[in-house]
A and B are shown apart, each in its own frame.
Chain A
Amino acid sequence: MLTPSEPIVAMPTAGRILVLFAHPSPVRSEANAPMAAAARRLDGVTFVDLYAEYPALEIDVDREQQRLRGHDVICFQHPLYWYSTPAILKEWQDLVLEHGFAYGAGGTALRGKVFFSAITASGAEAAYCAAGYHNFSIRELLRPLEQTARLCGMTYLPPFALFGAGTAVDEGRIHAHVADWVRLLTALRDGRLDMARAASLPRLNHDLDGLLGAVGAALEG
């Protein structure tokens, strides 16, 4: 019934990033909107506004699979809704990650790619731990995504997360966060991120200087 995807050929342009952005109310967004605007402007980043492209949640499976094939790094950018993604990203997973494409017999299209989430959450970071209000760390809560990525043969990186998102603008934290976001995407694009170290962190922006620093220092020195 479904044609299995072709086996992995040579990777397309190294480091091409696909940002799948999901925000059902972007006009009111304070945290995600400036991040999205910055990502949209970056060279080497394909930015897809899922709610804009599929306002009726009618996802074009073929088009989305084609997009996945053409990129090396896949990123979900979204606000944290009920400890998970907004609905369209769940729909996207349910439809696009088909047997024979993403997993199962002949399902090798995603193998070797990198996956991570860029999320914003209104809760404080301190509350996201075993003793805290939310009981689990953010990395723990996103386990379904982590396992999905693994099942599809992708390298999973911890989330790039902004906590206290509701007050980030008022407290003047948003500019630094967007700047970090751009640094992260640029480093991923240019292959300058220390992947092994990144994979072990609780979140990507936990020690961004350190992550980029080693390679960065090498480049500068």
Chain B
Amino acid sequence: MGGMLFQAFVYLCAAVIAVPVAKRLGLGSVLGYLVAGIVIGPVFHVVGSETEQLQQFAEFGVVMMLFVVGLEVKPQLLWQMRARLLGLGGLQVLATAGAIAAIGMLLLEHWQTALAAGLVLSLSSTAIVLQTLSEKGLIRTDGGQASFAVLLLQDIAVIPMLALIPLLAVPHMAGVAQHAAAAAGAGAVQAAVGGHGADMSLVAGLSSWAYALVVLGAMAAVVLGGHFLSRPLFRFIASSHLRESFTATALLLVVGIALLMTLVDLSPALGTFLAGVVLADSEFRHELESDIEPFKGLLLGLFFITVGAGIDFGVLRDQLSTVLALTLGVMAIKGALLFVLGRLFRLRAADHWLFALSLAQVGELGFVLLAFSTHNAVIAPEQAKLLSLVIALSMLLTPVLFIGYECLVLPRLRGDAEQPADAIDEQGTVIIAGGARFGQVVNRLLMAAGVRTVVLDHDAAIVELMRRIGIGSYFGDASRPDLLRAAGIEQAQAFVVAIDDRDRAVTLVEYLRREFPRLRILARAFDVDHLYLLRTAGADVALREVFDASLELGAATLRALGRHPFDVEKLKRAFRKHDMETLEELYELWDRDLELSKNRALLERVRARTAAELELTARDRTLLHDRSERGWTPPPRGYTDAMESGESDDGPTAP
């Protein structure tokens, strides 16, 4: 227990110190974690052998990340991406693997080893790239999307690679390899990401067509289960109104799918991605995303730390020039090929550079394939050690490339001809918190005007009802920052607060105003006191929920009494104006720390006004009457007579 606590303490400490510093220096969190890992590992040796086991555990962060990524990718989007996914992604893997294998054949003894090295090095780091892209807000740019397509294809391509590698075994290496692999615990890594090599397998010994059937069955289970079973389950859990039970369900979902995929020798990352895509249309999407997010973040962080901590300085020192040359060479080849492909697929200047620079490293899947290749006697253990270093070093250099992109490429391009803007926000969205009767009318009006809206409600029954009548809405507590982020608050232009909890509405407005100074906030108020609270909290517009309806009903009553409708209209306008002025006047006297019933000055003013209205009903009526009668007043009697006979000398006369 003590040992575990100590390790947890060291890792957390490293993360807590290194990440904020790295971010403050503009280096991004990934580099922060990597450096933290180097410091506690090879530099100060605070942590040691447990790194590898930790890494296996931490790779689950990648699985979670792909789930979250999947939630962002609706099936239609995936279909739209198909050309890039297959074309750009497929060509990247084939060309890179081919080029590196060709060079490898000149340097290495066995062509099999060269080919395996090509495959290993063709992959890029989903973890680093996606994390960095989304941290820098680049994921929605064209370059970001292209990178994403390639990463996705690489994740898929690992499956056939894992099938291919055993066929490449170099006969005389076999004996050594088994031994070395076991010693290095290499098999462990692949359990999480690769799937193959797991202890449990339902498909060992199946014929290939049976295996294909099982694979298809597992995929179908994820898709159909995600589509039909998840909703009733989530609805049931949501009705318990227990936050942690929902979180547990979300985790269960991800772990369950990962397990299923492992059992049938498929990549868990791919399975959870698929599940994410299936759930991208669900009303629980934002809730799931914000529940998984912290786990994903922590595990990924841990993963990066273990990469840093795992760098073998001994080998590095002995073969420094080889490692450096190999790393830079691999990155140069990958970058150059990516650049050519970017041109082929017509990426524009900035996106083109982003695409080429972001994917030039080798990724965590490389470790998996490497271990698998050693295990299958395709790559010798010493070679694997060297390649491991190359992979780690290239990952370490990636944040530097991103910084280069920001500091060297972007400023230069900015001066160039104007680029058409990326389709980041075709139109600002509106988030509506609270989808019950009030928020629903607001939403219907906005939708009728063609505005994109996101409705959030913490009552699953309301969300279900709205979805049934075709209104896109999501389950979740709108006062939670993480959920707001998942709902796209950063891109939103306006926020409508229509939740039915007085206090939470005020807190929400305060939070929104503090975090998003430029956001337009419009709030529903229950009464005058609430209205003032919302205004003080920073709402741009706050309206009393029943005022307009009451006014209309009053007007209808007057019409029912036989008053002329346009007179009623004028009276209504005058009354509203009078009431607004009163509201303004009382706001000056209002004190948020004083209950309305204890605010003497304010009560005094209200009493005075009411008294005036009650006792001097007649006078007050005249006041309002004058107001509503100001317009369309004819000139005084006799005015025209004077004018037309030319006697007037007061007003100007027509020439």
Contacts and interface: CB of A to CB of B under 8 A. Distances in A.
A108 B652 contact: yes
A104 B652 CA distance: 8
Classify chain B: how many residues form its interface, as a range: 10 to 19
B646 to A, nearest CB: 13
B651 A150 contact: no
A152 B636 contact: no
Interface string A88-129: 000000110011000111111001000000000000000000
B650 A152 contact: no
A107 B648 CA distance: 12
Interface stretch (B36-44, B195-203, B337-345, B625-633): B625-633
Given A58-B573, A99-B639, A105 B650 contact: yes
B633 A98 contact: yes
B635 interface: yes
A98 B654 CA distance: 17
Nearest to A110: B652
Interface residues of A, number: 21
Contact of A2 (B633, B651, B655): B633
A108 B631 contact: no
Contacts of A58: 573
A152 B632 contact: no
Contact of A111 (B626, B630, B652): B652
Contact of A104 (B573, B632, B650, B655): B650
Contacts of B654: 147, 150-151
A94 B652 contact: no
A1 B651 CA distance: 18
B631 A94 contact: yes
Nearest to A58: B573
Contacts of B626: 1
Nearest to B652: A153
Given A1-B626, A99-B639, A104-B639, A94 B632 contact: yes
A56 to B, nearest CB: 8
B652 A99 contact: no
Contacts of B630: 2, 61
Nearest to A111: B652
Contacts of B573: 58
Contacts of A152: 652
Nearest to A106: B650
B651 A61 contact: no
A149 B632 CA distance: 18
A152 B654 CA distance: 8
B474 to A, nearest CB: 32
A94 B635 CA distance: 12
A105 B631 contact: no
A108 B651 CA distance: 7
Contacts of B652: 103, 107-108, 111, 150-153
Interface of B: 573, 626, 630-636, 639, 650-652, 654-655
16 contacts: A1-B626, A1-B633, A2-B630, A94-B631, A99-B633, A103-B652, A104-B635, A105-B639, A105-B651, A106-B650, A107-B652, A108-B651, A147-B654, A150-B655, A151-B651, A153-B652
Given A95-B632, A103-B652, 9 more contacts: A2-B630, A2-B633, A58-B573, A94-B632, A98-B633, A105-B639, A150-B652, A150-B654, A153-B651
